[in-house]
Amino acid sequence: KRKAKEGKAKKEKDPNAPKKPVGGAYGVFLSENREKIAKALPKDHKITDVAKAAGEQWKKLSAVAKKPYEDTFAKKQKEYQAAMEEFKKAKGDAGEAEEEEEEEEAGEEPEVPQKKLRKGGA
């Protein structure tokens, strides 16, 4: 089992915070075409086969064909940033004070333990 690093507390995510769009333009393409791709595969296909087929289709698309997906992702990204700004404003000064403290702590370099030297010619 992994041990937690000493001195670093994991930053808790706010469940009310807006969700960040992930996957880029490919993620938009995959979400729009997942059902169609799954139907084109054999009935006993694996889940990973859908992603593989989608990846192949994505690579074959020209830059012009990818443009609508890139635009959609850019729009989602802007909406997220606007929602995040609103969220931060609504959260108030209490949240800003916590962020400043965390930034100050993050600026300090943690001590790196030295490796032990081996003895003998082993």
The DSSP result for the chain, as a single string, is -PPPPTT-PPPPPPTTSPPPP-SHHHHHHHHHHHHHHHHHS-TT--HHHHHHHHHHHHHHS-HHHHHHHHHHHHHHHHHHHHHHHHHHHHH-HHHHHHHHHHHHHHHSPPPPPPPPPPPS--
pTM of the model: 0.60
pLDDT digits (tens, 9 = 90+) for 63-79: 999 999 999 999 999 99
pLDDT digits (tens, 9 = 90+) for 6-35: 666 677 777 778 888 888 999 999 999 889
pLDDT digits (tens, 9 = 90+) for 88-117: 888 774 444 445 444 444 455 555 555 666
